[in-house]
């Protein structure tokens, strides 16, 4: 081979250089293509893990907001927690007593509403402070902040559950359940009275 100035390049060197250049261009094209192509995900499809019959009447959703503060020997933190839970009536335990088909009246004995599926809304929950303290400040290998945050989230879940068990929420749930059930059966021509367990 001869370059533009007439210098001969041995063929033994030219072929590897050309092959390396072609491979380099192919690799660059593949790399650029990978960066600009959209991510693709493959799923095996949904699987039914378990089917349960749900016989609950959700009558009230309670929104909860609280500040959880925590301290350990090496960390302190403050988290604004937001979450919610439903107040539900367990319809499997409803009993019909004093039924009079001629007058179309009956009494329902209903269990007291209780909290169901309390949950922390992680999208709206905010970590306001999470810092190292004490000896953890000078130890680069000790960082208890992740453990403190996990403990704070567990405490937040428990706090949401406790908050919705307030007597005011239970009373509101009872009132809403009575309104729904009495109104529904009134449309069918029945007069109901409610007795709470």
SS3 22: helix
- The per-residue pLDDT for 26 is 63
Please provide the DSSP assignment of 101-162 as one string: TTTTEEEEEEPPPEEEEEEE-TTT-EEEEEEE-GGGGT-TT--THHHHHHHHHHHHHHHHHH
pLDDT at 175: 93
- Does residue 122 sit in the same domain as residue 82? yes
Segment 98-107 shows an average pLDDT of: 87
HSE-up of residue 188 (Cα within 13 Å, Cβ side): 12
Highest mean pLDDT among 37-46, 66-75, 105-114, 130-139: 105-114
- Are residue 14 and residue 71 in the same domain, yes or no? no
Asked whether residue 12 is assigned to any structural domain, the reply reads yes
List the one residue out of 112, 115, 108, 111 whose CA is nearest residue 60: 115
Averaged pLDDT for residues 116-135: 88
Per residue in 41-93, pLDDT tens?
Answer: 665 545 656 665 668 888 899 998 988 888 888 888 898 989 999 999 998 88
Q: Considering the domain boundaries, does residue 120 fall inside one?
A: yes
Residue 22: band (very low, low, confident or very high) from pLDDT cuts 50, 70, 90: low
43 within some domain: no
Question: How confident is the model at residue 35, as a pLDDT?
Answer: 47
Mean pLDDT to the nearest integer, 131-142: 82
Rounded CA-CA distance 64/160 in Å is: 6
Q: Around Cβ 180, how many Cβ atoms within 10 Å?
A: 13
- Give the CA distances from residue 38 to residues 6, 27, 41, 188, in Å, rounded to whole numbers and listed in that order: 48, 19, 10, 56
Range of the domain at 5: 1-30
Q: How many domains does the chain have?
A: 2
CA distance 88 to 111: 10
Q: How confident is the model at residue 112 (pLDDT cuts 50, 70, 90)?
A: very high
Q: How confident is the model at residue 174 (pLDDT cuts 50, 70, 90)?
A: very high
DSSP-derived 3-state class of residue 180: helix
Instruction: Compute the CA torsion angle 174, 175, 181, 186 (nearest 10 deg).
Output: 150
Q: Give the chain's mean pLDDT.
A: 80
């Amino acid at each position: 081979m001869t370059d533009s100035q007439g210098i001969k390049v041995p063929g033994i060197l030219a072929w590897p250089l050309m092959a390396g250049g072609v491979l380099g261009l192919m690799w660059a094209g593949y790399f650029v293509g990978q960066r600009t192509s959209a991510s693709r995900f493959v799923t095996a499809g949904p699987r039914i893990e378990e089917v349960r019959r749900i016989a609950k009447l959700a009558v009230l959703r309670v929104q909860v907001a609280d500040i959880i503060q925590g301290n350990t020997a090496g960390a302190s933190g403050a988290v604004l927690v937001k979450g919610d839970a439903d107040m539900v009536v367990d319809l499997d335990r409803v009993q019909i007593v004093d039924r009079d088909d001629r007058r179309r009246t009956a009494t329902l004995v209903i269990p007291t509403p209780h909290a169901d599926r309390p949950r922390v809304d992680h999208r709206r929950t905010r970590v306001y402070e999470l810092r190292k303290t004490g000896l953890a400040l000078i130890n680069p290998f000790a960082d208890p902040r992740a453990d403190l945050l996990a403990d704070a989230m567990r405490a937040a879940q428990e706090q949401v559950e406790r908050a919705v068990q307030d007597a005011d929420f239970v009373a509101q749930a009872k009132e809403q359940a009575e309104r729904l059930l009495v109104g529904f059966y009134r449309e069918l021509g029945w007069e109901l009275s409610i007795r709470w367990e």
